Structure 1
Amino acid sequence: MFSSRNIIYSFILLLASLNLSAQPATSERPRLVVGIMVDGLQQKHLDLLWNYLDPNGFKKIITSGANFRNVSYNIVSAGNASDIATVMTGTTPYYNGIVGNSYYHRSLDDIESIIQDDNQVGIGTSQNLSAHKLLSSTVGDELMLAYPNKSKCYAVAIGPEEAIMLGGHTAKSVTWIDDASMKWVTTGYYADGLSHWADEMNVNGVFQNYTARTWGPLFNINTYLSKPEKEDKKWGFFYDPTTKKAKNSQASIIKTTPSANGLVAELGMKILEQENLGNDIYPDMLLLQFTVRTPFEKSTALNSAEKEDMYFRLDKEIQSILQKINEKTGLDKTLVFLFGNQTGVHSPTELGENKIPAGYFNADRSIALLSSYLIAVYGPEKWISGYYGKNIFLNKEKIISKKLNLNDFQKTVAEFMLEFEGIKAAFPSSQILNFGGNKDSEMARLQNSTNKISVGDVIFTLLPGWIEVDNKNNPIGESNAIVSYTPLYFYGWKIKPQNISTSYQTIDIAPTISRILDIPMPNACIGKPIIEVTP
């Protein structure tokens, strides 16, 4: 028989074993994952500026880590929200629901932000936003679920779409810049609301110090490869981050100045230090978004001193971030991954100036002519209910009430749209949603980019070199290349220096991180771990 002492001793051993089972399986895993997304980043730009970059910034990540030269997005460019969601979930909008920064809401008959959520309350902002429409888990979510109340995840970004898609559903806090009120803001959707450290920067004047920093060249203006976009005779170029975007706008240009990158870096490092990220056996995650965009830029090419300067100054920020991580956590215990969004190598303007066919497509005129054509064919009714992002929404109730065949109606619309300059192809949505052919084809890429909740009735594509813009000339997706590539680098932890030419897709990033952390992959993940950097 067991004595009472033996029973107690066995019970203690059982509790200890249960506690160990809730811990990470191995100390070999990184204690901290730092994800860096750079809006507008292009490998070509880094190549051109290579000799001017600091050895301990971009260069350190690229030369001492895994440099992937052949990573593509397998979705249509529709904004940073869908690009980042694809990276973080390991799947496409067909499954994760994030078809772009905005979408046409059929029942409201209006264009709505993909992160709009009227059930949430803004903190420091009147915007009501959340990750509610993100239909699948992210790699950050899976980390938080694997080690509840142990692991921590934070996201700091310039814009709300970027912040929320990086943070997913379960980040402790997600923070972004409000370019009108000039402060950090967030949404009540996340557990900690506005982080204490963001609130502190708002109150103690640190945020305002960044907004007061005017921007001129970091180096002698004559050493830059290109001339300034907006030349200043005294300084070379000169910008005030508080300058308004437009005459009647409340929003300032701060999000496209070095001040924005400096703010993200400072808050990110404050969170790293004060929240003790990476200082225990439970992995943590810190996700940051930066930019190399410039105020009023007309091209994504590296053709202005301002854009070069954005790279140079961001290079310094990355150098400081790596140094701080090494001091607090250790780069040998930290996995860093850095990627960009879908960005056209050349703008339509640049292509046109070099006699290469290209253009900007504004749908208003096309949709108006389509409406007139449908009235001529089918009678005086409102046959089109809405439009957004190459998706045409038909008035299906009216079509059905008139006893017209919906499939034939869609084909009529698709055939008419082919008459417009810049349009390459047009399809009834059912043809795309039910496609089961070659996964590398254009049709498959369209299917990846749609979701049944927000898909139109007819979808069209544009010719290479053409980009769609809205009525404010803002691009709806910036790359219209048949295959859109992005830089991708893994650095730190046990990553060996290597240049990798194997073809991968951005959906492979999340499962790679999951494999390294030894946690479940996101629940809609269709990507595969990258073998060169996984155990």
Structure 2
Amino acid sequence: MKLTAIIIGSLFSLSLCAQTTKAQNKQETNKKPKLVVGIVVDQMRYDYLSKYYDKFSDKGFKKLISEGFNCKNTHYNYAPTYTGPGHASVYTGTTPAFNGIVANDWFVRETDKTTYVTDDPTVETVGSNSEKAGKMSPRNLLSSTIGDEMRLYSNMKSKVISVSQKDRAAILPGGHLSNGSYWLDTDTGNFITSTYYENRLPKWVSNFNAQHLAQKYLSKSWKTLLPIDQYTESAADDNPYEGLYKGEDKPVFPHNLPKMYDKNDYGVIRYTPFGNTLTKDLALAALKGENLGKGNYTDFLAISFSSTDYVGHKMGPQSVEVEDTYLRLDRDLGEIISYLENEYGKDGFLLFLTADHAAAYVPSQMMDLKMNAGYFNYKDFSDDLNDHLEKKYDETQLVSSVINGQIYLDHKKLRDKNIDLKSIENYIASFALQFEGIANAYTSFQLNGAILKNKSAQLIQNGFYPKRSGDVALLLEPQWLDDYSHTGTSHGSTYNYDTHVPLLWYGWNIKKGNTAASVQITDIAPTIASFLNIMEPSACTGKPIMAITK
């Protein structure tokens, strides 16, 4: 009897242990952060992290690097590397070949016109009287985002809010099911939205706009945060490779913002670090106004800092202006991180920071240093190409458009003249290789299904969506840019200076460390999905980053 009792007691204890373990496993599975915060810095090169590290504060970038997890070898896996595709790929976990966002603008054969990535004529502006600034939505985005999946998983109880100065940088991260996406109207200095989301601004956004912060930030000159002689990581303040701000004779500090500021156009704030500060202010207001992270389901806040891109385009990556913009952004990040830690605790939120693309050095500077670099004139190339095609095929203007380094042919004229598409594409690709600065050319037949061997070809293929992309894609040589300005910089290529970006993780379930293993930008969304135990976005091609999810 005693033995039987012991056996029964042991079995009962084992059963209790099994039930307890099962309950603990279930509880662990369902344990999630209160809030996910996604931060995208527009045009941030990976090397800025080390270049400016000593001048960062202890609360911003340096904290994310030293206390979070650093994916040191994160690259974009498609081209062209622009703002629209960049934000789409981060949040959909896939490339333009599947999410459809092939560029910021692309040529539409059916209308014979160029369209903007977030244009939507079916909606109206909310928050200002602008006829165009708010006629935007995510209708061109073909796949779901990680925020959409969070909303669907929770039966629409999770909240997703996205903010940025740029409309496309607010709209694409927010996805189709965003509770609110807000961007800057440069006519009024207010943040606005569209009727795709709501018919009136929430009270917290209206109250934010009533502070007129853009006007306040533009009422003072832009001086360097630190004494200017400490900016030893940058070139001389006065150099020939930087552009000029409106009303200035030299590209030097201090920049007289009140003089540059036209009261009918607040767009100048985008070319200063104070545009980022304004975005930070709105992000903090969103956390409070929407009570993010206070419900029963995980919420999402997407923040995109755009001023880094505008300053970078104008001044280039070696400028004091770019360095000062990042030092000030570091302080803004510190304020956001401190708020999150105070409000939710370090283990209450999951934060990642990355960039939508990086940037090239200024080609004119590289040329002066006797490096391979240059400027390619697409307008001259297009005119020359049309002339040659007219002689060969006895038809004028067979090229409808050259945009994003891609050639769009007039398919109607080709059909009318019975011109074989594959033959003319091959002819154009061969013709293009005669031009200085062109490294290679790929036809739509190569890009739509062929197995391409070299890295650049594969990246262009990953960015190719037949219904929106061109018939022939051109690849410029390294450090060659479109010939629109010989000061400042740009981006868009397959080369490392455009594809290598930061990826930092911090907060919930993130252990301190780093990895030099290869990570693709499309791995971010499935990594978040893995943390949250939800489905990855609908067209996701990325994989969870094992170094942090295991």
Aligned position for 1:32: 35
In 1, Cα distance between equivalents of 2:315 and 2:354: 20
Aligned position for 1:126: 131
CA-to-partner distance for each residue in 1:382-432, whole Å, 9 max, x for gaps?
Answer: 322222112212222222222232221221122111111111112221221
Contact 1:173 1:193 (8 Å CA) reproduced: no
Aligned position for 2:148: 141
Q: 2:387 aligns with which of 361, 368, 372?
A: 372
Structure 1 residues not aligned, in runs of 5+: 1-22
1:497 Cα deviation after fit: 0.7
**Residues 1:481 and 2:490 are matched in the alignment:** no
Name which of structure 1's ranges 179-188 and 161-170 shifts more when overlaid on structure 2: 179-188
In 1, Cα distance between equivalents of 2:472 and 2:27: 48
CA-to-partner distance for each residue in 1:38-78, whole Å, 9 max, x for gaps?
Answer: 11222322212211111111111111011011011011134
1:159 Cα deviation after fit: 0.5
The residue correspondences of 1:309-320 to structure 2 (distance < 5 A) are 309-320=324-335
Aligned position for 2:308: 292
1:529 Cα deviation after fit: 0.4
Aligned position for 1:167: 174
In 1, Cα distance between equivalents of 2:81 and 2:546: 29
In 2, Cα distance between equivalents of 1:241 and 1:252: 13
1:192 Cα deviation after fit: 6.9
Alpha-carbon distance change, 361 to 232 in structure 1, aligned in 2, over 3 angstroms: closer
Q: Which amino acid aligns with 2:275?
A: A
Name which of structure 1's ranges 153-162 and 401-410 shifts more when overlaid on structure 2: 401-410
Q: 2:477 aligns with which of 452, 463, 477?
A: 463
**Residues 1:269 and 2:274 are matched in the alignment:** no
Aligned position for 1:426: 441
Contact 1:67 1:500 (8 Å CA) reproduced: yes
Contact 2:527 2:549 (8 Å CA) reproduced: yes
Q: How many residues in Structure 1 have an aligned counterpart in Structure 2? A: 508
1:380 Cα deviation after fit: 4.2
Secondary structure in 2 matching 1:532: helix
Structure with the largest fraction of helix: 2
Alpha-carbon distance change, 525 to 304 in structure 1, aligned in 2, over 3 angstroms: same
Aligned position for 1:212: 219
**Residues 1:497 and 2:512 are matched in the alignment:** yes
Aligned position for 1:113: 116
1:326 Cα deviation after fit: 1.3
Secondary structure in 2 matching 1:281: coil
Q: Which amino acid aligns with 1:375?
A: E
In 1, Cα distance between equivalents of 2:493 and 2:411: 31
Q: 2:191 aligns with which of 184, 187, 193?
A: 184
Contact 1:25 1:518 (8 Å CA) reproduced: no
In 1, Cα distance between equivalents of 2:144 and 2:303: 19
Aligned position for 2:95: 92
1:90 Cα deviation after fit: 0.6
In 2, Cα distance between equivalents of 1:130 and 1:94: 20
In 2, Cα distance between equivalents of 1:181 and 1:421: 45
Aligned position for 2:456: 442
1:299 Cα deviation after fit: 4.8
* TM-score normalised by L of structure 2: 0.86
Q: Which amino acid aligns with 1:65?
A: G
In 2, Cα distance between equivalents of 1:212 and 1:463: 43
Contact 1:242 1:252 (8 Å CA) reproduced: no
Aligned position for 2:205: 198
Secondary structure in 1 matching 2:442: strand
**Residues 1:283 and 2:288 are matched in the alignment:** no
Name which of structure 1's ranges 92-101 and 426-435 shifts more when overlaid on structure 2: 426-435
Q: 1:339 aligns with which of 332, 336, 354?
A: 354
Q: Which amino acid aligns with 2:316?
A: T
1:31 Cα deviation after fit: 1.0
Q: Which amino acid aligns with 1:92?
A: T
Contact 2:316 2:488 (8 Å CA) reproduced: no
Aligned position for 2:16: none
Secondary structure in 1 matching 2:38: strand
1:485 Cα deviation after fit: 0.9
Contact 1:187 1:194 (8 Å CA) reproduced: no
Alpha-carbon distance change, 477 to 188 in structure 1, aligned in 2, over 3 angstroms: farther
In 2, Cα distance between equivalents of 1:356 and 1:160: 37
Aligned position for 1:228: 237
In 1, Cα distance between equivalents of 2:541 and 2:513: 25
Contact 1:468 1:477 (8 Å CA) reproduced: no
In 1, Cα distance between equivalents of 2:490 and 2:226: 34
Q: Which amino acid aligns with 2:176?
A: H
In 2, Cα distance between equivalents of 1:519 and 1:39: 28
1:495 Cα deviation after fit: 0.5
In 1, Cα distance between equivalents of 2:326 and 2:294: 31
Q: Which amino acid aligns with 2:192?
A: V
In 1, Cα distance between equivalents of 2:200 and 2:77: 34
Secondary structure in 1 matching 2:73: strand
Alpha-carbon distance change, 368 to 473 in structure 1, aligned in 2, over 3 angstroms: farther
Q: Tell me how large the CA RMSD over aligned residues is.
A: 2.7
Aligned position for 1:42: 45
Q: 1:410 aligns with which of 407, 425, 432?
A: 425
Aligned position for 2:63: 60
In 1, Cα distance between equivalents of 2:192 and 2:27: 33
1:297 Cα deviation after fit: 4.8
Secondary structure in 2 matching 1:287: strand
Aligned position for 1:240: 257
Secondary structure in 2 matching 1:252: helix
Contact 1:78 1:476 (8 Å CA) reproduced: no
In 1, Cα distance between equivalents of 2:300 and 2:397: 50
In 1, Cα distance between equivalents of 2:30 and 2:199: 28
Q: Which amino acid aligns with 2:279?
A: V
Contact 1:136 1:524 (8 Å CA) reproduced: yes
Structure 2 residues not aligned, in runs of 5+: 1-25, 239-243
In 2, Cα distance between equivalents of 1:154 and 1:410: 44
Percentage of identical aligned residues: 32
